[in-house]
Amino acid sequence: MQHIEFLNYPATGPLPDLQWGIRIDGTDLRTYTADATRDLWRQEHKEESPAENELFLLHQHGGLSLREVGDPVRHFLGDPAPEFADPSTGSTPVLGCSCGIWGCWPLLTIITATPETVTWSPFRQPFRKEWGELPMGPYTFDRLAYEAALADPVRVTEDPLGPDGEAMP
Beta bridge partners of 155: 8
Beta bridge partners of 86: 91
How many angstroms separate the CA atoms of 130 and 124, rounded? 10
Closest CA to 87 of 66, 110, 118: 110
Q: What is the mean pLDDT of residues 15-44?
A: 91
Report strand pairing: 27-28 vs 18-24: antiparallel
**pLDDT at 52 (0 to 100):** 84
Q: What is the mean pLDDT of residues 22-27?
A: 97
Q: Per-residue confidence at 169, pLDDT binned at 50, 70, 90?
A: low
Q: Is the pLDDT of residue 24 over 90?
A: yes
Contact 53, 42 (CB under 8 A): yes
pTM of the model: 0.91
Q: What is the mean pLDDT of residues 133-158?
A: 97
Quick: pLDDT tens for 87-144: 888 999 999 998 888 889 999 999 999 999 999 999 999 999 999 999 999 999 999 9
Convert the chain into a string of H (helix), E (strand) and C (coil): CECEEEEEEECCCCCCCEEEEEEECCEEHHHHHHHHHHHHHHCCCCCCCHHHHHHHHHCCEECEEHHHHCCHHHHHCCCCCCCCCECCCCEEEEEEECCCCHHHCCEEEEEEECCCEEEEEEEECCCCHHHCCECCCCEEEEHHHHHHHHHCCEECCCCCCCCCCCCCC
Quick: pLDDT tens for 40-67: 988 776 777 888 888 889 989 999 998 8
* Alpha-carbon radius of gyration of the chain: 15
How many angstroms separate the CA atoms of 82 and 76, rounded? 14
Q: Is the pLDDT of residue 167 over 80?
A: no
